[in-house]
Structures are given as C-alpha cells and as structure tokens.
Amino acid sequence: MTAEVTNDAGRTLYDWLAQKNAPVLDVVRAEGVWFETASGRRVLDFASQLVAANLGHSLRPIAEAVLAESERASYVSPAMAHPAKDELTRRLTGGVLPPHLTRISYCATGNEAVNDAIRIARTVTGRDVVLFATPGYHGAQGTGADTSGDVRRDLMRSRFTDAVPFLGPYRPGVSTPDSAEVALERFVTAAQAVGPERVAAVLVEAVPGSNGVLVPPAGYLAAVGEFCARHGILLVCDEVMTGFGRTGRWFAFEHEGVRPDLVTLGKALTAGFVPLGAVATTAEVAAHFESSPFVSGHTFGGTPIQCAAALAALDAYEAGDVIAAADRAGGRLADWLASASAGADWTGRSRGLFAAVDLADGARAGEVARALLASDVYCLQRGTFLMLAPPLVVSDEELDLGLARLGEALAR
C-alpha cells in the first residue's frame, strides 16, 4: 500500500517506523467501526485502531460526558477526591472487576499501570525479582519495557536486572501451545532457579496480544496462580489490551479461573477517548499503604475528564450488553477461522473478538495485510501474524464483510 498522506507536515516522528515509511494512512474522521482517510476512502477498522476503540469511534455520549465534566472541573490534582473519580472507583470495584479487587490507583497509560503494579508488588513483598512471561508486551518505557518479552525489548529496556524472563506456553516460531503441564514445568523451573522467596511478582498477559493472541492451554494460568499463592508471590495480570470485553468477558483472566493480586488497565477503559490507566488490587495488598506512603506520582491520573470518559464508556459497555454481543461475534469469528484455515497454509487462534491469523512467514503476512488494506480493511500485522480486533460493536454483516475480504487477500 503506498502512502496517501495529505495532512502530514513531514515533521512528526512516528512510533516504531522508519520515517520514510510513515505514516501510511491519514485519518480525517471515524465513526462506528469505520474510518475515513484524507483521500475519501472508507476503511473497516479491524484493529480498533490500537486495540483501544472497543466501542467503535466517536461516540457522542462519551464526547458529551467529557465536555460536561470539563466545564464542571477541568483538572483536579491526583491528591484530591472528586465525584467522577469516586464514582468510577465504585463502578470498577462494584461489579466490573471480581469482588476481591477492591482498591484502584490511577495513572495515564497502560505502561504506567504496569510500572505502578510492579512497584507495588516489590514494595509490599519486600522482594526484588519480577518473573515475566515471554513472549509478552507491557509497554515501551521503564518497567513495562524491562518486562516485555518481545523482539523489541533490547531496543527499549532500561536494564532493570531483577526482571527475569520465563517462556510461556508458546515456543518461538510454533503456532500451537505446549500442554499446560509442560508449560507449568518450565515456569516452575525458572522460579526455582531464582528462588521463589526472592520473587515479588509474576507478570503475565492472560492472552498475550501484541505477540500473537497466544491463547493459553486450559489450567496453565490457574496452576501458575496456585504456585504464586503458595510462595507469597503476587500475580499481576496485564489486561491493558485484553480488558473491557476483548475476549468476550470483561477481562481475559476470567476465562482461566485465576485470582490475580494486581490487574493493570488502560486503552479501552475509556474506549480510547482519553488516556487513562489503572491498577486494581486487593485490600490485603493496599493495607501496606495505610501508614506508609504510596510512592507514585502522575499529573494525569484519575482527572475529572479521564474519569468521566471511563464512566460514559462503562455505561455504553453495560447498556448495550456489548460484552455478551462480543462473545457471540467471537463465536462467528472462531467458526470462520476454523473453516477457512482447513487445508490452508496458515493457522488461526482466537478468544472472543481477538484473533491471530498466523502465516509462519513475515513477508507473506505483510503482503496479506497490504492486500487487505487495498480492499479497505485495516488490521495490525506483526512479524508472521495478522491480528484481528474489530470494535466489539461490529455487526454480523460488517464482520462477515471484513472476513470475506481477508479470505480473498489470503487466497492471492
């Protein structure tokens, strides 16, 4: 796909790309599951942009909530309470999250939420080591970067030496997972090598997203959680990409029968309207900070505008029964993957409206993504796989249209 950019002044530096290749698209407006480019193309968004616009684009109730809140109190310091933050904490801990997660801290991004969660775990346990699953991605800065078991890690990390990787259920280059028993044994061996008494936290994505929608074998994460509980290690589930309905439940860890001590949130918490990150934790963990300070600081963490956007997003997730609908649409997506991949040179994996089409060949994956975009469907491509993550409000017709075009791109 050649670039068709009209608005870029050539002075913006774009993330992750060699600048001569960026940007590819120039978005002038977006509505529902579609965005429109400067040249007038209507493109079906099979990525929710960066897996953030879970409710689709440009929702009026969220825009109105942000406007109303910014007229009431545009900015309040994170050290102060205000009604929108109070209400958001009540909603998140009063039914959205499982009942054992009763305390919330706010920040601005998913990466900051991971940094805070790990800081909390190390402070509360008095231990230093963080065992993190690979492949995985937790952000491009600080602790998030240090704990990203991702090909980009060496470019990003700050050399925090107590972050120790362990290989999750998927071996590099293999598109199906090892059994829960084999993967668990690998995890336990890594933990024993460090000494579990030195480990503050185990950091996982229940379904690692950026590295290929790696759905774990049943029972694996629950067994990792039991090991953590036995050794006083805090389990951190990073739900920045998978949270808020992506996998057909509010959170991906809910499929796994696991009880995380800390959960990180971001992206779709506000449906991508404004940046807001959060860490949810238990009363036991939070009790540590009753009389000693919680050492963290974000100028933009839980401001009225951020919280109003999240509250309006929660209204929309709940009122439209969006997560149950996403679960049903996920079934349709899984059926398509199963039938279209039969006898093909690619494999499919999915959970809810979150899928990977794995071509085992990076060059071919790039060609398919470009062919798909040429037919006005946008999805993310990394390495050998395409990621499918349409807004949860996608209709059956829109889903079928995108999948039909994907089928054509794959058949070339």
Helix ranges, 8-109 (H): 48-51, 60-72, 83-91
> Does the footprint of ligand PLP cover residue 163 (CB under 6 A)?
no
**Count of Cβ atoms closer than 10 Å to residue 382 Cβ:** 20
Binds ligand PLP (CB under 6 A): choice among 168, 209, 245, 301: 209
> Does the footprint of ligand PLP cover residue 384 (CB under 6 A)?
no
Considering only residues 49 to 78 of the shown chain, the ones binding ligand PLP according to CB under 6 A are none
> Does the footprint of ligand PLP cover residue 266 (CB under 6 A)?
yes
3-state secondary structure of 57: strand
> Does the footprint of ligand PLP cover residue 138 (CB under 6 A)?
yes
Instruction: Judge if the upstream peptide bond of residue 260 is cis by omega within 30 degrees of 0.
Output: no
Q: Any idea which residue has 């057909």 for tokens?
A: 248
Nearest CA-CA partner of 61 in 267, 276, 306, 312: 312
Supply 322's token pair: 């969006």
> Does the footprint of ligand PLP cover residue 111 (CB under 6 A)?
yes
Question: Could you tell me whether strands 380-382 and 103-107 are parallel, antiparallel, or unpaired per DSSP bridges?
Answer: unpaired
> Does the footprint of ligand PLP cover residue 149 (CB under 6 A)?
no
3-state secondary structure of 166: strand
The smaller minimum CB distance to ligand PLP, of residues 50 and 182, is found at: 50
- 169 Cβ neighbours under 8 A, 6+ residues apart: 177, 178, 180, 182, 183, 214, 216, 217, 220
CB of 152 to ligand PLP, least distance (A): 11
Q: Is the dihedral of CA 216, 217, 222, 228 positive or negative?
A: negative
In the bound state, the residue with its beta carbon closest to ligand PLP is 110
φ and ψ at residue 124, rounded to 5 degrees? -70, -40
Among the listed ranges 133-141, 153-161, 357-365, 372-380, the one in contact with ligand PLP (CB under 6 A) is 133-141
CB of 108 to ligand PLP, least distance (A): 8
Among the listed ranges 108-116, 350-358, 384-392, 399-407, the one in contact with ligand PLP (CB under 6 A) is 108-116
The smaller minimum CB distance to ligand PLP, of residues 221 and 240, is found at: 240
Among the listed ranges 212-220, 233-241, 329-337, 346-354, the one in contact with ligand PLP (CB under 6 A) is 233-241
Binds ligand PLP (CB under 6 A): choice among 137, 166, 273, 336: 137
Question: Could you tell me whether strands 355-358 and 347-350 are parallel, antiparallel, or unpaired per DSSP bridges?
Answer: antiparallel
Among the listed ranges 88-96, 236-244, 291-299, 339-347, the one in contact with ligand PLP (CB under 6 A) is 236-244
CA-angle at 148, arms to 146 and 152, nearest 5°: 95
The smaller minimum CB distance to ligand PLP, of residues 135 and 266, is found at: 266
Among the listed ranges 137-145, 300-308, 319-327, 330-338, the one in contact with ligand PLP (CB under 6 A) is 137-145
Which residues make up the interface to ligand PLP (CB under 6 A)? 109-111, 114, 137-139, 144, 205, 209-210, 238, 240-241, 266-267
